[in-house]
Amino acid sequence: MNTKKKYRIGLIVERSRAFGRKLCEGIITYAQDRDDWYLQFLTPSDLRRRQIRDNLDGFIARVTSNAFARLLKSTGMPVVDIYYENPLPGFAVVKTKHEAVGILAAEHFIDRRFKNFAYCPYGGGRTSAYCRKSFIRRLRRAGFECNVYSTKNEPSYCIDGSDHISDVLSPPKDAKQLEKWLASLPKPVAIFCPSDLRAWQINEICHSSGINVPREVAILGLDNDIIICGTSKPMISSIDPDAQKIGYTAAETLTEMMENGIPERMIIRQIPPSGVVTRASSETAPVEPAWLADALVYIQRNAKHGISASDVFAELNLSHTLVTRAFRKTLGVTVQGEIARTRLEEARRLLSMTDLSITQIAKHSGFNSTTYFMQSFSKAYGIAPGLWRTNLNPTFHVRP
């Protein structure tokens, strides 16, 4: 007779946006890997119904208010919060590593040689605050300052915790102030928005104001919501927060709590973003002439594919002498030097954001051998790539 415990899990997660749907995909993938998990989508009001509440073993929820948090707490069951705005003792938290998001956004723009930067928040809360702080901190480490948009009329969105976000693709309440702010920024400028919706709004206002995106204003959002990013013209670049992994990890964490009991200390697990999905809104370089900017974009796109300087010359269809002179005068490097720099930046991103082996990173970054990659990295940064990764994250075990 099979007496294995069956777990019935209540999911209270909005599913009207890509982030929420991908969270659910991660949870569902975990459930499919087991034969003892049964999922039930709920709304917060369902928790008041005893016949539903008493038939569940645990919850995964976006805890969106103090009242909702208290209601979950009153069930006495394990709770994994995947929102982290209203944490309570006894809850576990699995969330985006927002510090890594801000750093990734800053480096995306720094790698493209921007000198002017701006941050446009949306909705307030912990997410926006954490992203802003790490974005600005990384810029300052590189010697840059950041213009932060601020208004009393800043829009917000409301998540009801189940299946609805109360915002639409329409002009924001602060559209006029945003228009003035955008006009006042030194150009070209790179703007990071901790929301694809806010990035969409910025793009629309730029279009109506005659500001060219991405030549004058480059835009980067967060969440990689293809419905928002893909319907914008130009399409919006966005950071993918790896919501599926957040969902999967939340499910793993809930299993631990159901099997081992609710821990006295809060569990907090942070998932780094998987990377930037680069689209037209940030696919530029703030240099003149235009063909030089095009050359840098070509290198950004293709350095990891093993291109050489001769491929850049062929793409531009200009003389080697003219191109080489422009690179040296404007950028202070040769064409091949810029390709190498771009590869090394990609390698650093992979070292910090993934658990790929050194050999895999060399290949994915465009280096023709692991040995050459390790020599190039050590020469550029004065440290071996494996040790650089370990110093960045002391708990990481370098793979061969």
Give the per-residue pLDDT at 155: 54
Predicted local confidence at residue 234, as pLDDT? 94
- The per-residue b/e assignment along 263-292, b for 16 or more CB within 10 angstroms, e otherwise, is eeeeeeeebbbbbbbbbbbbbbbbbeeeeb
pLDDT of residue 163: 45
pLDDT digit string (tens) for 104-158? 999 999 999 999 999 999 876 778 889 999 999 999 999 999 999 987 655 555 5
Query: CB burial class (10 A; 0-12, 13-18, 19+) of residue 318?
Result: middle
Average pLDDT, 10 consecutive residues per value, the chain (400 residues): 76 88 95 90 84 86 86 90 77 92 95 95 81 96 96 56 54 90 97 95 95 96 93 94 95 94 86 91 90 93 93 94 94 94 91 88 94 94 90 46
What are the φ/ψ torsions at residue 81 (nearest 5 degrees)?
-95, 125
pLDDT attached to residue 127: 81
pLDDT value of residue 398: 36
pLDDT given for residue 148 in this prediction: 96
From first CA to last CA, the distance across the chain in angstroms is: 46
Which residue ranges form the domains of the chain, and what is each CATH number? 7-95+243-275 (3.40.50.2300), 98-241 (3.40.50.2300), 290-389 (1.10.10.60)
- What pLDDT score was predicted for residue 325? 95
- Phi and psi at residue 269, in whole multiples of 5°? -120, 130
In this predicted structure, what is the pLDDT of residue 396? 37
> What is the model's pLDDT at position 397?
37
For 250-294, give the DSSP string. HHHHHHHHHHH---SSPEEEEE---EEE--TTT---S-SSHHHHH
How far is 292 from 65, CA to CA, in rounded Å? Answer: 50
